[in-house]
Each structure stands twice: as C-alpha cells, then as structure tokens.
Amino acid sequence: MHAPTTRRGRLLTASLAALAGATALALASPAVATGVPAPAAATAAHGKPAPALDPTQFHGVNWADPRDNYANGPVVLSGLATSDDYRTVYRTSERIIRGFRKDLGANTVRMPVNPSSVGTAWWRSYKGAIDAARHEGFRVVLGYWEGDGASKDGRVDDPAAWTAMWDTLTTTYAHDRGVYFEPMNEPFGYTADQWIQVATDWVDRYTARGIPRDRVFVSGVGYNDHVDAVCAAPALAGTYVSQHYYGFWGTHDAAGWAADFESRLGDQACSARTVLDEFGVPMTTGIDYRGSATTGNADADNSVAFLQTVTTIARERHLGAVYWPGLRTDDTYSLTTIQGSGKHLSLAVTNQSGVALLHWAWGAGRRAPFTVG
C-alpha cells in the first residue's frame, strides 16, 4: 500500500526487458480493445474444474481511507464520515462511483474492510458504499487491511475477529457475483509457505460455504510483490492472484523496470489469473506521463518510465489493472480529488496523462499514448 508520508521501510530491488514497440501518439479511443485471448481454465484442488478466469475485466481504481486503510478502528473512505448514516453514505458513494466511471472509465472499485467496519454500528452505514457501487454496475473487491502502529506487522491481527468479519461478508454477498474477496492485503509478515497455508485455509472454509474460487483474490507474497509462488500452489488453483507494484520501489529506465516487473509475474499461465490491484506514481505534481522519460529530472523520469512500462506490460500480458488510488484525500498519487459537497459533490481529475496510460493498460486504443525516449 502506498503511503505518501511513511513509505515502506524497504525498497524492493529491481533490474529489467525493454518496452516493446510503443510509439507516440494520442490515445485513439476510450473504448477497451476486444479480442483478448481467453485464459485457459485451471484445475482446482481435489480435481474439480475451476472456472475460466478473465483478469482483463477489472478496469479499476482503489477508493481509500485517508489513513492508507491501516486503521485500528473503522475504515472510513475519503469523502465519508463516521457520523454518516446509510442514506448519506449511499448518496455520497453514488456520486463518487459515477465519477470514477465518467471521469476515469473505471468499472471496478477496490475497498478496504476490517473487523471494526463489519458487523458493527459503522457497518450499517458502510454497506451503503458497497451497495451504491454494485447498483451502479461496478465490480467491488473487498480486501482486509490490518491495523496501524504495533498492529502493522503483515499478519492477521486477530484471527477470530478476522474470521467473523469474513463470515459476515461472505454471507452478506454470497449470491452477488460482482463482489470479490481478498483475504488480506500485503501479508508481508508471513513466509511464502505460511501465507499460502493461511490463504488455503481461507479458500477451503469459504468455498465449502459456496463462494466460488473465481470470486477470490489471493495476494502475492510479501507486499503483494511476487505472485509466482501463489500461482504455483495447487490448493489455490482457480483463484485470482493480486500483484502490487510501485515506482518508489526502485530507480530504473524503461528496460530496468520491465525486467523487474516481469520477474515478479511468473509465466503467462500465472498472468492469466493476475490482477495488478495496486500500482501508482505521483499524479498531483504536474508530471506528463505522455512525455519523455529522459528529461533530466531524475524523479519525474523514473515515474514516467515506470508507468509507461507497467501499463504496457499489463496490456501485453492481459492483466487486470486497479490503480492506487482513484481517490484518497491528501495523497499525491490520487487520480481524483473531491469538489463540492452534498448534492454538488463531484470529482476532478488530477492528471489526464495518467488516465490515458491507465486506459492503455486496460486495452484501449491501438497506439501507445506516449513517446518513448
């Protein structure tokens, strides 16, 4: 998870395969390209055929709590307040979701959950955000975030409360195929084997209760920074896997970013299950992501090379793409900000060139909306 003031204490190493054949021209069309080859169906555990997965259906953004979703109390999305009742949350969320669709072209929103937000007094209101998104036809990905401070160790804070939360969520949305479940965001406190076991136990519990595997997003290991180990786990076959990737994880040119990103994704069979459900760069600082990555401004050049490379690889490997964040108050990475309030609430886009590259990741247009070099 990107935090603008307290970024992760470790930077992930990188080294990387050049951007293939991207040229400069404006984005030809906002419509998403069709004709993407359908991923092959996996075989789930116990010999049951898993449904075919299509990560390219997820054209999304994260809607986040200003605290980066790590909260020791309820998560409260940007634009909402704990004093809001269900009707207020619903109406505010409806306007924000419509903005995500109109201004960004999104069809998916990823939202945080934690035990303080589900089955509690706030839950009666917070459901309005999920309901509004679903009534607007959005796919909704619900991901668990641990608490902040001493609780932020990359492990489930309270397994009993976590299980009770997921019992409530999976029961509430059991029959809504547009709601997806991500058992934990960035499980960096577990080894790969430990995390695979935690995820396997979750999948076994809830598939036994009727949740299909193709409605589950299993995070990659660490900070969701590698998905290959999760893809290789037979017990997790048939689920989506979620990858995260950020420009502040290293400093590279386009070839370096490409090699590093590809090294985290595994083979094409793994990519046929992969949703990049967090990636981001500064959007409020005036960087032109359609422009050159060799201007001499090191920070801007790194961000430009990162976003041009990642969106191209996401497109070429047919990954789902969910940007971090579509909306988060006071986050320089945010693609939108809130304008007005109440009936007059709307969103303002912070960087149209960033939106153009997000569309490129989603399959829009025929020529890259940026210049290489």
The average pLDDT across 58-66 equals 98
Q: Is residue 314 part of a domain?
A: yes
* pLDDT given at position 373: 54
* pLDDT given at position 264: 96
Give the count of domains, the chain: 1
* pLDDT given at position 371: 78
* pLDDT given at position 12: 35
Q: Is residue 305 part of a domain?
A: yes
Per-residue pLDDT reduced to its tens digit, 271-288: 999 999 999 999 999 999
Q: Is the pLDDT reported for residue 242 higher than 60?
A: yes
- Is the CB of residue 241 less than 8 Å from the CB of residue 270? yes
Tell me how far apart the alpha carbons of residues 248 and 8 are, in angstroms, rounded to a whole number.
9
Q: What is the 3-state secondary structure (H, E, C) of 41-80?
A: CCECHHHCECCCCCHHHCEEEEECCCCCCCCCCCCCCCCC
Q: Is residue 32 part of a domain?
A: no
Q: Is the pLDDT reported for residue 189 higher than 90?
A: yes
Q: What percent of the chain has pLDDT over 70?
A: 86
The average pLDDT across 291-301 equals 95
Q: What percent of the chain has pLDDT over 90?
A: 85
Range of the domain at 328: 47-362
Number of other residues whose CB lies within 10 A of the CB of residue 96: 26
Q: Is residue 307 part of a domain?
A: yes
Secondary structure (3-state) at 308 = helix
Q: Is the pLDDT reported for residue 14 higher than 90?
A: no
Q: Is residue 19 part of a domain?
A: no
CA dihedral 242, 34, 247, 24 (to 10 degrees): 170
**CATH, residue 349:** 3.20.20.80
The average pLDDT across 308-335 equals 98
What tokens were used for 88? 């207020």
CA distances to 70, 77, 135 from 128, in Å = 21, 12, 10
The average pLDDT across 306-320 equals 98
CA–CA–CA angle 257, 229, 242 (5° rounding): 65
Q: Is the pLDDT reported for residue 336 higher than 50?
A: yes
What tokens were used for 359? 């569309």
Q: Is residue 369 part of a domain?
A: no
Q: Which long-range contacts (CB under 8 A, 24 or more apart) does 88-95 make?
A: 88/125, 88/128, 89/125, 89/126, 89/127, 89/128, 89/129, 89/132, 90/128, 90/129, 90/131, 90/132, 91/132, 92/345, 93/128, 93/129, 93/132, 93/133, 94/132, 94/135, 94/136, 95/345, 95/346
What tokens were used for 15? 């080294």
What tokens were used for 242? 């979620």
* pLDDT given at position 2: 56
CA distances to 59, 159, 260 from 141, in Å = 12, 21, 26
Residue (of 138, 209, 213) closest to 169 by Cα position? 209
Q: Is residue 309 part of a domain?
A: yes
Residue (of 53, 40, 108, 38) closest to 239 by Cα position? 53
Q: Is the pLDDT reported for residue 42 higher than 80?
A: no
Q: Is residue 233 part of a domain?
A: yes
The average pLDDT across 157-185 equals 98
